[in-house]
């Protein structure tokens, strides 16, 4: 399905039904002159979300070489994470001299993002690296202030937030803001070289396979919430464990594989699956209270009938795989092998991946795609080049949501159903407080609702 028509329809529906987007939709019709950073101007950065991923993204941003850049503000909910991130960046030999964040520009609490963004001027960049439930909230304010954005993946966790992000993407375009999304595989030199030649080497793509199977990581360490910790603090600190906050391990782990495989299906035009059906289950969770499955197996179907088979597993003691393949009429392509980077892209004249069948392989070492995505974003800002990756990020997230919900409900889920689904997992994301009610509540035993395939089919868990 190239540019699925449901997107435009749902945008219109959304504007009629969601009052909270009124301000953002008004922005889309107001073209504000954009001041881009000239070659000699310092681009200032603000980091919103100071976990490991945000800290790494900030280091990559500060490592860009085409003009002066510095980090001037930081924001997080938790002082320990902000302070740890600041120390890691300020003490880094490569970028520490570019960190200029005095105490008065370190902000805490749910409104900290506003204060950090307010430290910036047009042409600067805010890094949005909190759990994705808050992405639309923070992105809305950045657009209002006319600030360029880098946001981590995934960017949505359900249908309503996907529709919201698609509308916000248009609002950002109206202001000529540059917006990067952390799907760095799309900036990978090896993958770009593969996409340019893949169809000549292997023919029409008939099927795609991807695997991310490794030991259990990313879920709650405590068997129950500590008594002295609020629900919101517990759930946000352990955001991979809660579907409302992150889309669960499914969205966080599998979005890169899904995105690169959909790219390989048709490198010339956006092509996304129209349906997902899936299996999955919990096996060895023990006392863990998270909402994830241990295994996921999803069959995605494209409009022409071609398939994408995704296999995910987070179990100790099992075989580990981390790779994506395209199977064509004349051979196969390795999209990634063993990790996201280096990708070790290659093509073969059979489906057996034998050395004697090798057609082409990208030369090693490969440029780091995590750095390349930042090089490209800053280049777009300095030279006023088109750059708005939000729609693709939202669509890739939507495909994740399709597969996850299909596994969690035991029912097929198609593109239109997911995009138009009315259930929002965290409708109060813009109004949360640490001591206030959480989007998800535990029962009297401290346990949270779990997916129940075949029983709960309208949403992923009882609400």
Going from N- to C-terminal start, the domains of the chain cover: 6-185+372-389, 189-365+400-415
pLDDT (tens digit, 9 = 90+) per residue, 399-432? 999 999 999 999 999 999 999 999 999 999 999 9
CA atoms of 87 and 437, how far apart (whole Å): 32
What stretches in the chain show pLDDT beneath 70? 1-36, 38-40, 220-222, 463
Q: Do the beta carbons of residue 332 and residue 358 sit within 8 Å?
A: no
Angle at 52 between CA 324 and CA 92, to 5 degrees: 115
Residue labelled with tokens 């994470």: 81
State the pLDDT at residue 23.
40
Nearest residue to 127 (alpha-carbon basis) of 33, 59, 27: 59
State the pLDDT at residue 217.
83
State the pLDDT at residue 457.
85
Angle between helices 52-62 and 369-383 (to 10 degrees): 60
State the pLDDT at residue 101.
98
| Interstrand relation of 332-337 and 346-348 (parallel, antiparallel or unpaired) | antiparallel
Dihedral sign for Cα 193, 195, 196, 197, please.
positive
CA atoms of 117 and 52, how far apart (whole Å): 20
State the pLDDT at residue 396.
98
The CATH code for residues 6-185+372-389 is 3.40.50.720
Region of 344 (left: φ > 0; alpha: ψ -120 to 50; beta: rest) is left
CA atoms of 260 and 340, how far apart (whole Å): 10
- Measured CA distances, 143 to 24, 87, 136, 147 (Å): 8, 29, 10, 6
189-365+400-415, which class in CATH? alpha beta
State the pLDDT at residue 445.
87
Helix (H, G, I), strand (E, B) or coil at 91: coil
CA atoms of 449 and 461, how far apart (whole Å): 6
Residue 99 tokens read as 């960190």
Q: Which helix (H) or strand (E) holds 75?
A: strand 69-76
């Amino acid at each position: 399905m190239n540019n699925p028509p449901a997107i435009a329809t749902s945008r219109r529906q959304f504007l009629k039904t969601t009052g909270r987007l009124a301000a953002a939709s008004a922005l889309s019709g107001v073209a504000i002159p954009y001041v881009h950073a000239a070659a000699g101007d310092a681009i200032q950065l603000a980091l919103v979300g100071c976990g490991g991923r945000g800290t790494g993204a900030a280091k990559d941003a500060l490592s860009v070489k085409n003009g002066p850049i510095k980090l001037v503000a930081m924001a997080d909910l938790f002082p320990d994470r902000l302070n740890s991130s600041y120390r890691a960046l300020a003490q880094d030999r490569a970028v520490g001299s570019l960190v200029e964040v005095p105490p008065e520009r370190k902000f805490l609490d749910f409104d900290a993002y506003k204060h950090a963004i307010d430290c910036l001027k047009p042409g600067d960049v805010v890094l949005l690296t909190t759990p994705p439930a808050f992405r639309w909230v923070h992105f809305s304010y950045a657009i209002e202030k006319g600030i360029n954005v880098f946001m981590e993946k995934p960017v949505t966790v359900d249908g309503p937030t996907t529709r919201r992000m698609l509308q916000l993407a248009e609002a950002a375009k109206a202001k000529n803001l540059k917006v990067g999304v952390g799907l760095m595989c799309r900036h990978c030199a090896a993958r770009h070289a593969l996409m340019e030649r893949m169809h000549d080497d292997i023919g029409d793509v008939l099927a795609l396979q991807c695997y991310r199977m490794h030991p259990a990581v990313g879920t709650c360490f405590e068997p129950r919430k500590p008594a002295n910790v609020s629900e919101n603090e517990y759930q946000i600190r352990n955001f991979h464990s809660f579907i409302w906050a992150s889309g669960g391990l499914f969205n966080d782990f599998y979005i890169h594989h899904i995105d690169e495989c959909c790219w390989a299906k048709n490198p010339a035009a956006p092509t996304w699956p129209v349906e997902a059906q899936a299996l999955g289950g919990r096996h060895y969770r023990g006392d863990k209270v998270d909402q994830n499955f241990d295994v996921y197996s999803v069959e995605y179907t494209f409009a022409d009938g071609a398939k994408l088979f995704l296999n995910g597993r987070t179990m100790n003691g099992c075989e580990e795989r981390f790779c994506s393949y395209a199977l064509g009429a004349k051979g196969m392509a390795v999209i990634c092998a063993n990790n996201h980077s280096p990708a070790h892209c290659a093509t073969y004249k059979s489906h057996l991946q034998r050395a004697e069948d090798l057609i082409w392989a990208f030369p090693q070492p490969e440029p780091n795609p995590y750095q390349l995505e930042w090089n490209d974003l800053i280049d777009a800002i300095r030279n006023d080049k088109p750059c708005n990756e939000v729609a693709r990020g939202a669509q890739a997230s939507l495909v994740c949501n399709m597969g996850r919900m299909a596994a969690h409900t035991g029912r097929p889920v198609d593109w239109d159903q997911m995009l138009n689904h009315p259930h929002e997992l965290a409708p109060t994301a813009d109004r949360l407080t640490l001591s206030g009610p959480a989007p998800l509540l535990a029962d009297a035993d401290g346990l949270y609702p779990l997916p129940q395939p075949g029983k709960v089919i309208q949403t992923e868990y009882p609400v």
